[in-house]
Structure 1
Amino acid sequence: MKKWFNWIDDGIATFALSAIILLTGTNVFSRYVLNKPLPWVEEIAIGLFVWLVYIGISSAMKRDSHVGVDYFVNKLPRPLRMISIIVRAAAIYYVLFYIFIYLGLDFTLQASSKVTPILGLSYQMINIAVPIAGVFTAIYFTQSLIRSLRLEFKEEGGS
């Protein structure tokens, strides 16, 4: 089950990137060789790009691939380092739970009557990527936080 869950965001991001490349390449060929551009391709590519970006956030969190400058934090005495970890976690949880999940859901629900101009797809299908990515990222960040706290306690000599 865990292996399947860990694959979901990578699978979505891989599909989105592959589809963007394929659709854009097809549209370039259609526009410049056949002189018949496919107007709907841009709508699909933009929607897939939104999914790629937001789901990519969770995929990067899973691998601890987000950029971080922890040189100074690692030089702090242990009590201050622990406070730093807690403050960082609180800030990240705020962003994930309030901005990504809560506001992302609100943003998605507000898009109920908004549709793309050519295909008439609901923007809810695009916007739902934000709260979904927030949930995945929160899960992966929690796993990462637990690992880093275990490491801190192990350095102290605890169990």
Structure 2
Amino acid sequence: MTVLSNICIGVASVAMVVLVVTFGWLVFGRYVLNVTPTWVEQLALLLICYIAFLGAAAGIKEDTHLGVSLFRDMMPKKVQKYLMVIIDLMLAIFGAVMLYAGITLMIFGWDTLLPMLEIPESFRTLAITSCGGLIFLFAGSRGVLRILRFQNWQPDPQELDI
């Protein structure tokens, strides 16, 4: 799972570099060449989808997503164990819903082309679909592992951080 998470971060990082380079080309084309490359905006929207969704999926794996742990931390250790499993399973269900909705959107948008890029709209919704599948995989596997070691599990101090 760590390798998959690192791949997500790597792809999002490359997309960020491409985003910066294309905006540099936009500024150069507009102000130096006096010819504005119109495709940059559509490419930027596509890249931001991948940056955000792949980063979110990696955040679920690394457990760095936004969470409020105040109430969980106030509970006894045994209740904390149950809550952490419930949270993982809820995240997995959310990821499964995202995956299903993303597949539906991909099928719906396959015949529509992104303006100026001339690629199917489904390439944009692929980011949503892959994020949903990765969240399902990351949170679901963590929840299953916690259930399997439920008897001997003690909360890791890093897992209790926000």
Q: TM-score, normalised by structure 2?
A: 0.81
Match of 1:29 in 2: 28
Q: Per-residue deviation at 1:142?
A: 3.2
Gaps of 5+ in 2: 156-162
Indicate how the Cα distance of structure 1 residues 35 and 141 shifts in structure 2: closer, same or farther if over 3 A, else same.
Answer: same
Aligned residues: 154
Instruction: Give the Å deviation of 1:34.
Output: 1.9
Q: Distance in 1 between matches of 2:153 and 2:91?
A: 24
| Structure-2 residue corresponding to 1:72 | 71
1:104 aligns with 2:102: yes
- Counterpart of 2:40 in structure 1 is 41
Q: Deviation at 1:127?
A: 0.9
Which amino acid is the alignment partner of residue 14 of structure 1?
S
The Cα RMSD (Å) is 2.4
The equivalences for 1:63-142 within 5 A come to 63-98=62-97, 100-142=98-140
Could you say which residue in structure 1 is the equivalent of 2:158? none
Quick check: 1:55–1:129 contact (8 Å CA) kept in 2? yes
Whether 1:12 and 2:11 are equivalent positions in the alignment is yes
Alpha-carbon contact 2:99-2:132 (below 8 Å) kept = yes
4+ residue segments displaced more than 6 Å: none
How has the CA–CA distance of structure 1 residues 77 and 16 changed in structure 2, closer, same or farther, with 3 Å as cutoff?
A: same
Q: Is the 8 A contact 2:102 2:125 kept in 1?
A: yes
Moved more, 146-155 or 12-21: 146-155
Query: Tell me, which stretches of 5 or more residues in structure 1 are unaligned?
Result: none
Q: What is the CA–CA distance in structure 2 between the aligned matches of 1:20 and 1:110, rounded to whole Å?
A: 27
